[in-house]
Amino acid sequence: MKTREELGITLFAIALVLLQFAGYAFVPLLAGALLLLFSQHTFATCVKSVPLFAGFTAASLIVGLFMMMARPTETAPLARWIQFYFLTVMLMGVKDKSRLLTAVKYTVYAIFAADLMANILQVAGVKLPWVYLTIRPGELIPRFQGIKGNSLYSGSISFLALCFLINEMGLRKRLRYSIAFLMVVNLLLAGSLRYFISLALVLVLITFHLYRHRSYLLSGICATIGMVVVLTRWTMMSSESNYFRYKLWGHTIDRLNDSPLVGNGFLFQQVTDHTRFSVRTLATADVTESTILLFGLCFGLPLMFLFIASLFRTFSHYSSYKHYAPELGLFLGLALDLFWGGSIDNVLSLSVLLICMYLINQKHQTLSHP
């Protein structure tokens, strides 16, 4: 049994790396790894520990399937949603989620190292075939796009690596600070403010032990969400990205009013290299600039608020921890990112989000009902 579990964890980590760079051809490898790790008893226990999220998962799937029967649905969005539900269900059944998260940590470190090298080459003036650097209006330097040709991915992998590194107490302090400096530099090169906001809140969480104080933590999270909305509105005329973000939020909210109870079914952004960047074309391509609003657009306001409630229920269980653990910072940053961006199409960040959610809630359940 131990050998089977170790094999499953190893294959899962390998599959994550391959999926980042070789596409969906390696989905069977990921599926096989999760089948090796899946336990029905663990799945049932996990469902009980996340009742709100389990309810959202089941209800959204029912709504999505019903809407799919009522109207035609394109296959491209369906692939993303199948991935979402598959990972949501299968990761619930993984018995040793802590070991799985540790394996993911080394995957993140490896991808970060490659991403940092790609950005250093770009800064040095080396032309990488998958990168096209431009300076957006309101910005002084281009957003460097790392190993994947995507600045948001570069920022995301740097943030994940930093959250893991913070807990690496076994490293010498000078080495840990040097690596952290490189990660912050890579985050700067990616040019995404959203991950700095998340990182700042994670540092506050650790410095002031907010995970032990439920009311302070929840108040700080709500204040951060409100601050980001206000800052986005305030800077929209000087920042092109914030202009698009705020306008797309407004457009999505208008669409929500058309079908507030059951939404529109399985939608997902469909942006191609040939998509013209205007509010109208991006809105037509179902770009929402908020995963939370995407859930509302797809499944209606009741299920959107149920999902938000599941996030805050997880935040409220932080107080079960006497000491900081990496899943606390990772879940905080990734969950907040869902409000002003985020995505469910990246299998790595989605896996980390789900593993951390399940870990936090299962630990709370274990302590509450020993």
**Residue 258's CB: how many other CB atoms inside 10 A?**
9
**Residue 212's CB: how many other CB atoms inside 10 A?**
16
Of 235, 204, 185, 186, the residue nearest 340 (C-alpha): 235
What pLDDT score was predicted for residue 101?
98
At 195, the pLDDT band (50, 70, 90 cuts) reads: very high
What's this model's pTM, rounded to 2 decimal places? Answer: 0.95
pLDDT at 271 over 90: no
**pLDDT above 90: percentage of residues in the chain:** 76
What pLDDT score was predicted for residue 284?
84
Domain ranges of the chain: 96-191
Q: Pick the most confident of 27-41, 70-84, 128-142.
A: 27-41
Backbone angles phi, psi at 94, to 5 degrees: -80, 125
Higher pLDDT, 274 or 231: 231
pLDDT at 77 over 70: yes
Lowest-pLDDT range, 35-49, 219-233, 279-293?
Answer: 279-293
Higher pLDDT, 128 or 351: 351
Q: What angle do CA 182, 187, 190 make, to 5 degrees?
A: 125
pLDDT digits (tens, 9 = 90+) for 230-253: 999 999 988 888 999 999 999 999
Beta bridge partners of 94: 38
C-alpha separations of 356 from 92, 231, 234, 262, 346 in Å: 11, 29, 33, 29, 16
pLDDT digits (tens, 9 = 90+) for 278-293: 888 888 888 999 999 9
At 138, the pLDDT band (50, 70, 90 cuts) reads: low
